[in-house]
Structure formats: structure tokens, C-alpha cells
Amino acid sequence: MKNHTTTTSPDADRVTTASRTFDGIRVRAAQIGLYETPILHGRLADAAALTAALRTAILDRYAAAPSLARSNVGGWHSATDMLDWGGPAATALADTAVKMAKRASHFDGRDAATVEWTVKMWANVSPPGALNMSHAHPGVLWAAVYYIDMGTPPAEGEAGGELFFEDPRFPVPFMRLPGFRLVGIDGQPQPVERRLPTEAGDLVLFPAWLRHGVRPHLGTGDRISIAMNIDVKG
């Protein structure tokens, strides 16, 4: 019989010796969440009259104007000039969204309260099955959406129609290893997509560069919402 011998490299021996020498080393590390993405989600108080006025203006426009083709699939997308035809209710909604944006904005050498803000606004009417593909709003600072009507959910199963956000960091680790996830400060693996449950009367503000979309409407009736691009001059 031949004798089989096993050899180890000097480097391997050194690693083993070092590991045994410092076997008692431990580390206490606190996890810090850096570079958070702010999303403001609130409910307009005492807004029944405002919502009703917006709904009337949108349905009148829906009956008279064709749809633009943007991220919408199966739904109606108005032109971005709703502040011209939405009446005082549209102006009040834009002012409210700008107030939210001011709270979440900082400008070096400038006061966010005195900066001149601009708003582009449009309406969405989504019948059953309609959705919005993942997209972003380039060239502006903030995007916002106000929910007027959620439609009627099905008797069983999911209602669909959720606003979802994609992790902007996701493509980088995905290119290396698709199954890799970062563990968040809650100790859970971070999903590549988060869905935000919303109700009629909710106003959501988020960075315009954040990719987002709307899942298919699985209920009945039309879902109605208003979207905004919010920016500053100069």
C-alpha cells in the first residue's frame, strides 16, 4: 500500500496559530442606518369638501380629454396642467404638499420657507386591472400623490393598487449575487420592494428620483388619485 501524506502550507499554519492565539476576541458593534430615504405619509384632516371638489373636477376632465401615455397601463392620465382646471381645491392641495416638502428640505445658504416652489399636477383614473409601471420623476426634487377614491375591494383576496417603492441600492448587489440582502436595523433582511398601504384622503411625499409604481387594481370601480411634481426655482 502507498502511504498518503497531507501537507499544509506555511501560510495555513500561521493562520491556524493566529486563530488559536486570539480565539477569545469578540466585537460589539452597533448598527447605524445611514442615508435614509424620507417618505412622508399623512392624512388630510377635514378634507371631505376638498376631496369632493377634486373628484368632480377630475371626472369632468376625464369625460372630455384623452389620456397621456406615461407609466399608466390601462388607466387615464391627464395632462400635467391640473392647476389650470382643478380650481381652488387643486391649489389648496398643491399648497399642502409644498408645506410637507419644506419640512423635509434643506438648502445650503437658503431658507426652505422662502424658496420659490413650483408644482405640476395631474390626475389618474384607474379602472379594474390598471397599473403604473415602475418609474421615477427626473428633473425635480419631490413627487407626491393624493388619494381620492380607492375603488371597491374584492370580496376575497387582495385589493391590489398599492403604491410600491424600489430600493435604489438594489441593482448593485443584484448584479453580484441576486439572493443577497442587507440586514436592516430591525434585524430583518431588507426587501428590494416595499408596498405602502394607502386610503382615500392620504397624501404621500417622496424624493422624485425614487423609483415607484402602482400594483394592478384588483377590485371594482375606478381608483382616482392626483400626482404632483414639486420643485424650486433657481
We report the CATH number of the domain holding residue 145 as 2.60.120.620
* Cβ burial 127-157 (10 Å sphere, 16+ → b, else e): ebebbbeeebbeebbbbbbbbbbbbebeeee
- Identify whether 6 is part of a domain: no
The pLDDT value recorded for residue 4 is: 52
Tell me how far apart the alpha carbons of residues 165 and 193 are, in angstroms, rounded to a whole number.
6
Q: What's the pLDDT at 112?
A: 83
- Is 32 within a domain? no
Q: Assess if residue 5 is contained within a domain.
A: no
pLDDT number for residue 8: 55
Condensed to tens digits (0 to 9), the pLDDT of residues 97-140 reads 999 999 999 999 998 888 999 999 999 999 999 999 999 999 99
The pLDDT averaged over each successive group of 10 residues in the chain (234 residues) is 54 59 86 93 97 99 98 98 99 98 95 92 99 98 99 96 94 83 92 95 99 98 99 91
User: Which residue pairs from 99-105 have beta carbons closer than 8 angstroms and sit at least 24 positions apart in sequence?
Assistant: 100/40, 100/42, 100/144, 100/203, 100/205, 101/141, 101/142, 101/144, 101/205, 101/230, 103/40, 104/38, 104/40, 104/142, 104/205, 105/141, 105/142
46 part of a folded domain: yes
In a domain, 83, yes or no: yes
**79 lies in which domain range?**
39-232
Q: What is the pLDDT of residues 6-28, one digit of tens each?
A: 555 656 555 555 556 778 889 99
* Assigned domain for 22 exists: no
Per-residue pLDDT at 9: 60
For residue 16, the model assigns a pLDDT of: 58
Q: Give the chain's domain count.
A: 1
DSSP conformational letter for 110: B
Residue 96 placed within a domain: yes
What's the whole-model pTM score? 0.88
| Residue 114 domain-assigned (yes or no) | yes
